[in-house]
Amino acid sequence: MSARLSVGDTAPEFTLSDADGNQVALTDLRGQSVIVYFYPAAMTPGCTKQACDFRDSLDSLQAAGYAVLGISPDKPEKLAKFRDRDAVTFPLLSDPDKQVLTEYGAFGEKTMYGKKVTGVIRSTFVVDPDGKIAVAQYNVKATGHVAKLRRDLGL
């Protein structure tokens, strides 16, 4: 099990490919707050609900100074289909070797339908403008999570 991050920790840096194969680095967003969320698989019901909730809240999140990045183990081609099918308007990043997922503690043992399995732990982080973890939430629910995050952020 990878170590979990806590508020005040330095956010692990990453550079990942987006749905179009372009490189996106966390350092490129330094100076603004970034919501980084990890989800198990593009185009599944829960992950679609969560992505659409972020999409629908994006204008108000950006107005409050937040960028949004979604990260999954999916290949860029699948992320492009997901983006296009559901009109996702923020970067979806590919972490096929699960290195970034592991560094954020978002990959490991979890309970699914009463059984212990190893996989992506649905998690959300807010990285502050200085690159520190301002919010760390593990095992979040796909439905209602964005509304809860907005409340937690006072938005």
% helix, strand, coil for the chain, step of 5: 30, 30, 40
Write out the E strands in 63-122.
66-72, 92-94, 107-112, 115-120
Tokens of 73: 């183990």
CA 46 to chain centre: 13
Tokens of 134: 């301002």
Rounded distance between C-alpha atoms, residue 93 and residue 76, angstroms: 7
Is 47 assigned a catalytic role?
yes
Listed residue (66, 62, 38, 71) closest to 145, CA to CA? 38
Given the residues 19, 36, 47, 69, the one annotated as active site: 47
Helix, coil or strand: residue 71: strand
Rounded distance between C-alpha atoms, residue 127 and residue 31, angstroms: 10
How many residues comprise the chain?
A: 155
Where in the sequence numbering do the catalytic residues fall?
47
